Structure 1
Amino acid sequence: MSAPPLAFGAENPSADCIADSAGGLTFDLDVPGSADAAAHWSAALVLRRRGSAPAEAPGDADEVRLPLAPSGAGRVRAVLPSTVALPEGRWDVHVACGEAAPQRLLPGLADLRSLVDRRPGPSTSPLAVRIPYATKHGNLSLRSWLRAPHAEAGDVLVEDSGITGHGSLYRVEDPGAWLAGAVVEARCRRAPELVRTAPVTADGQDFTFALSYAQLCEEWRGGLDVWDLWLRGPEGSQPVRIARILDDVADKKQIFTYPAKPYAASYAPARVSPYYTVDNDLSIKVDERPPVAAAR
């Protein structure tokens, strides 16, 4: 006789998360009810990509099911290895058992120490990054990236004449050769044909670049211009979006902030500042300087 379904009640259970340096995650959660419930064959942790419909068949690319197994003391565990492909996006975390509708999980304790200052080893396989976080509604979700090659943004300096950026290149066979002659491209969202380039100075797999305010403001005519930063390498290679994902911060836009530098553009006074997008990609915005308030 099979064990009864997991006795999850009206209140959503929580899951503790442990991250490893390779990109894997372990989920531990309590099982209300009998110990036998933890062994139910259908118990699973369900990851569902945000914006997708529930999976209609096994193997759906927008849903991943991880079996839950007893881990002692009335707890169950699911493991998401780094080798399991998880396409880029935001994944909501559920627990499911039998015919009952999956329940959203709440975030418990998170041990993400292995993600801090992560520096992946040499490999050409896609770099898997998964960061658990609490949504604005208090539920548990994951932000996933899967990139090869990957250009990791480091220090970004807002200086008098322009913006200097540092980064590291991963997931190419010979980073030093790839970076030889590489350039950073700033691509204007408003007008895709507008591209500004800056040469790269390489030191092994690390690189440095500088974009001047004059370059970014030359065609600016007021309003907001956004420039997305890409790293372009040897002929025939695909350009790589510069991003910051190798740490424990899932959403950097409100956490990593930079000052806006005033610049006397030919059209009007402007201000320029780097920022991270909602996907943790590095961009630069050029906007109008706010008027100076009159003294009272």
Structure 2
Amino acid sequence: MSTVRTHCSVAADGTITFRLRPPADAPLRLLLVLRPKKGTPEETTHTLGLEARGDDGEFHAVLEPRPPLAEGRWDAYLLRGTDTGRERLRPGLRDLRELVDGGTRERTSPVAVRVPYATKDGFLAIRTWLRTAHAEAGPLDVDGRTMTVRARLHGAGLSEGAELAVRPRGGEGAERTFPARPASDGAFRATVALAELAAGAAGTRFWDVFVRPGGGAPLIRIGRLLDDVADRKGVFVYPRVTVDGSAIRPYFTVDNDLAVEVTAPR
């Protein structure tokens, strides 16, 4: 069982500095492993050198912002030498202050995000996103008939013909589109008529929310990635509203993307 606590701090440019006091001397390395899908082997890793700092037994490793890490969850391990295997690291203090207002800073393409966090079983991991472009969700207003989405584009720009696209998950049915109007600082807003999502509903249906920044442009996922929250689904909870007999609830997915759940009466 690992007892090595690893402190980390994140800079505004995405650099992460790890600090730990391992019970052994060099050679030491810090290993990041991209968590594979269930039933598949590990394939992607990233190794960092650990260097002693001062005479207090503390070692540092630095994860630079480039190259960006692939999107997913990266588990952190300590490597002792070449033949002693690896040991998962426990989280220590995590200084994420630079991430809190990350959505206010302009991001260029590709949009790369890293958030250190503690896993449910108490180990250190890094949640990462890597997208060509991203729309950072802001305040979300839901009333009896409509849902107003505000978001800011990163890595792309809004142009004529921009629209919000709400797509049924699984490809069952047609997408619904609503005009996206520019606001300030690269932001936009769009109002969704919830009755259009409730129409013809049977059982429970899920809709994913995108923006098409201009006529014919590729869709960009709307989500909330640019702050210090690695897992938003259970933290940002919106109330259900009833529209034409269906219960409708916006929510963030396990990937922190915006979606809508529609449940029709049986």
Q: Same fold (TM over 0.5)?
A: yes
What is the one-letter code of the residue matched to 2:65? Answer: S
Structure 1 residue 97 displacement after superposition: 2.2
Across the aligned residues of Structure 1 and Structure 2, the Cα RMSD in angstroms comes to 1.8
- How far apart in 1 are the matches of 2:127 and 2:120? 14
SS at match of 1:119: helix
Unaligned runs of 5+ in 2: none
Alpha-carbon offset, residue 125 of structure 1: 3.0
Moved more, 106-115 or 45-54: 45-54
1:79-103 Cα offsets, whole Å, 9 max, x none, are 1111122000011111102211111
Partner of 1:284: 260
Instruction: Label 1:122 to 1:133 Cα distance change in 2 as closer, same or farther (>3 A).
Output: closer
User: Structure 1 residues 111 and 54, CA, compared in 2 at 3 Å: closer, same or farther?
Assistant: same
Change (3 A) 1:289 1:134: farther
| 1:12 aligns to 2:9 (yes or no) | no
CA contact (8 A) 1:131 1:248 kept: yes
Equivalent in 167, 172, 177 of residue 151 of structure 2: 167
**Correspondence 1:203-222 to 2 at 5 A:** 203-204=183-184, 205-221=186-202
CA shift, 1:48, in A, is: 0.4
Moved over 4 A (4+): 120-123
Quick check: 2:6–2:91 contact (8 Å CA) kept in 1? yes
Residue 110 (structure 1) shift:
0.4
| Matching residue within 32, 38, 55 for 1:47 | 32
| Distance change (3 Å), C-alpha of 1:24 and 1:187 | same
Alignment of 1:196 with 2:180, yes or no, is: no
Percent sequence identity is 37
Aligned to 1:7: none
TM score, norm. by length of structure 1: 0.83
Counterpart for residue 64 of structure 1: 46
Q: How many residues align?
A: 260
C-alpha spacing 1:276/1:122, structure 2 compared with 1 (3 Å): closer
Given the superposition, is the C-alpha separation of residues 230 and 218 from structure 1 closer, same or farther in structure 2, using an over 3 Å criterion? same
Q: What's the CA shift string for 1:123-174, capped at 9, x where partnerless? A: 53312211111111111111100122110001111112111111000113xx
Q: CA deviation at 1:122?
A: 4.4
Higher strand share: 2
Deviations 1:215-242 (A, max 9, x none): 1011212x11100001112345321010
Q: 2:77 maps to which residue?
A: 94
Give unpaired runs (5+ residues) of structure 1. Answer: 1-9, 56-61, 291-296
Residues 63 and 261 of structure 1: is their aligned pair in 2 closer, same or farther, counting only changes over 3 Å?
Answer: same
**Distance in structure 2 (CA, Å) of the matches to 1:192 and 1:152:** 26
Q: Report the CA distance between 1:119 and its aligned residue.
A: 3.4
Aligned to 1:293: none
Pair 1:119 & 2:100 matched = no
Q: Which has the larger radius of gyration?
A: 1
Write the letter of the residue equivalent to 2:15: G
Among 208, 231, 235, which residue is 1:251 paired with?
Answer: 231
- TM normalised by structure 2 equals 0.92
